[in-house]
């Protein structure tokens, strides 16, 4: 499978069939939905896979991307892809990739002191992690008060709005649905 950014840049594809990269039309729609928020954004990519969502955010002006995935092969792919895109603006961007299970990592709390304004979570659809991820984001002070948590889930079984969150937008793109949430 060839993985490309919306601008056409070719990225490294994740190895094997363990990942389900966000389809290009979903990526483009999400980036268009967030267009006003991306310049200068601080983007947290949970269950990042290939890192393509962080790459799209960087391409549209995000200044900071932190990506988290538990699979070492995904982490290696994400590092390569994010470094490639960040290399176009090395002095303006900060990129970090962490290998750890996302809920466990979030539960440690935000030690940087700098919350994110956009958090994207795309766990395996059947893993049932949405409520746990949302609770860990909320409890660890990972999100700015006016920031957004975006959950990508299966359209056939969309995630419920987690406790402590307000649904601000739902977008369906074929088999994928994205919920945009803010803290209650």
pTM for this structure?
0.93
In the chain, where the domains are located: 26-183
Q: What is the pLDDT of residues 106-147, one digit of tens each?
A: 999 998 779 999 999 999 988 999 999 999 999 999 999 999
Instruction: Give residue 34's Cα distance to chain centre.
Output: 12
How far, CA to CA in Å, does 171 sit from each of 32, 35, 152, 158, 180? 12, 15, 10, 11, 8
For residues 37 and 18, give the distance between their C-alpha atoms in angstroms, rounded to a whole number: 31
Task: Considering only residues 153 and 89, tell me which one the structure prediction assigns the higher pLDDT.
Answer: 153
Q: What is the mean pLDDT of residues 43-65?
A: 95
CATH superfamily of the domain spanning 26-183: Vaccinia Virus protein VP39 (3.40.50.150)
Please tell me the predicted confidence (pLDDT) of residue 16. 66
* % of the chain surpassing 90 pLDDT: 78
Tally Cβ neighbours within 10 Å of residue 40. 11
pLDDT at residue 76 in the model: 95
Residue 7 corresponds to which tokens in the numbers above? Answer: 């601008």
How high is the mean pLDDT of the chain?
91
**Which of 68, 6, 9, 48 shows the shortest CA–CA distance to 31?**
6
User: Is residue 94 over pLDDT 70?
Assistant: yes
């Amino acid at each position: 499978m060839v993985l490309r950014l919306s601008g056409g840049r070719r990225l490294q594809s994740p190895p094997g069939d363990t990942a389900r990269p966000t389809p290009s039309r979903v990526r483009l729609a999400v980036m268009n939905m967030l267009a006003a928020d991306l310049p200068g954004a601080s983007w947290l990519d949970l269950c990042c896979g290939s890192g393509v969502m962080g790459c799209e955010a960087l391409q549209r002006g995000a200044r900071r991307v932190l990506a988290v995935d538990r699979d070492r092969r995904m982490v290696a792919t994400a590092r390569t892809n994010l470094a490639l895109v960040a290399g176009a603006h090395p002095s303006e961007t900060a990129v970090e990739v962490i290998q750890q299970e996302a809920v466990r990592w979030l539960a440690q709390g935000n030690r940087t002191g700098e919350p994110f304004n956009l958090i994207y979570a795309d766990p395996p659809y059947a893993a049932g992690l949405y409520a746990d991820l949302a609770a860990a984001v909320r409890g660890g002070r990972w999100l700015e008060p006016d920031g957004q948590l975006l959950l990508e889930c299966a359209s056939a079984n969309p995630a419920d709005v987690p406790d402590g969150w307000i649904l601000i937008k739902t977008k369906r793109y074929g088999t994928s649905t994205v919920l945009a949430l803010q803290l209650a």
